[in-house]
Structure formats: structure tokens, C-alpha cells
Amino acid sequence: MSRILIISSILLTTVSFCNNRSTGHESSQAASPRDSIVLNGVWKITRFTAGSISEITDDDAQKYVGQTITLRPDIAIINNDTCSQPYFKMSTQNSDKYFYTNNRIDKAALKIKQDSIQVIEMSCKGNPKYSNENSPNFLYDFIVVENNLMIVSFKGIYFYLERELKAF
């Protein structure tokens, strides 16, 4: 059960890249050990929705479906890139303002109904190991949709992550 909570916390951190933008935070704090438990786990990319401006085609985005992301307090593995010192910061934000300000998309396009959303920003405090020279920085926002469902934005595509519920 604790592993499931850790996985949920990690997913909250992966939703979109953080590039010094206004986020419309209502409240913000470093993730506590309890919050890290919510993200902990292996998350599988199950589907995607293209944003208003995408850097990759739907065919390229489809290649990510089925891949997994590992999020734990001591490691994050995303697209074969590894961070051994992930840092998570959780915030509660107005969903309309967050999606419009950061992504120029209406929350309804992502089937988000809540007025407030939990966003977990993830960055890497140490030196990440990248799988290739085209790897992005370790800066992601994970938007928690439900306990076992998160969204992360990458190159203008919104990827849905579902926690893999395995017996440990």
C-alpha cells in the first residue's frame, strides 16, 4: 500500500516542463515524505492528447504509449534518462488558470473537471544521466488527476500516466 502512495506522489510531479513561467500557484511547498509516497511507483503511459501547439506529430507521440516512468524519492527514470537525486515540490493551483497560462489549453480538452489541481514539480538536484544528447532537462510538472492517474506534458503533448499496480 505504501508503494502505491509513493507512486502516486511521483506522478504528480511529471505533468509539464517548468521553464520559469507563471503557474498561478494557490499554495506551494516542498513535498513531504508522505507526498513522496503518493508519487512512488512505476507509471505507464497509456494515451495522449495533443495540445494546441505540439513539437512532435501524433505518430511520434504514439511511440511513447506503453513506456514506463519510475518515480521514487531516491530515483526518477524517464525515457531512459536517470536522476539519482529527484526533488519534488507540490502545489495546489487553479486549474483554469494553470492550463491557460502554462499550456494555452482548456482543461476540458484534457477532461479535467476540478477547479483546483495538485501539481508536483520535479527537478533533479544531482547530475542526471541522459540517454542521448537530445534528452530534455529534468524539469517536469505532474498533474494529479486521480489517485492512480496523472498527466505530464512533453513537447506540447499531454501524456496520461497510470500507476502499475503490482504486488511488491
pTM confidence score: 0.76
Domain membership of residue 121 (yes or no) is yes
Domain membership of residue 18 (yes or no) is yes
Domain membership of residue 100 (yes or no) is yes
pLDDT tens digits along 126-137: 888 888 776 667
Instruction: Give the residue numbers spanning the domain of 78.
Output: 2-163
Domain membership of residue 168 (yes or no) is no
Which pLDDT belongs to residue 31? Answer: 53
Looking at the structure of the chain, the number of domains it has is 1
H or E segment and range at residue 71: strand 68-72
Domain membership of residue 157 (yes or no) is yes
H or E segment and range at residue 50: strand 41-50
Domain membership of residue 41 (yes or no) is yes
Cα gap 49→51, rounded to integer Å: 6
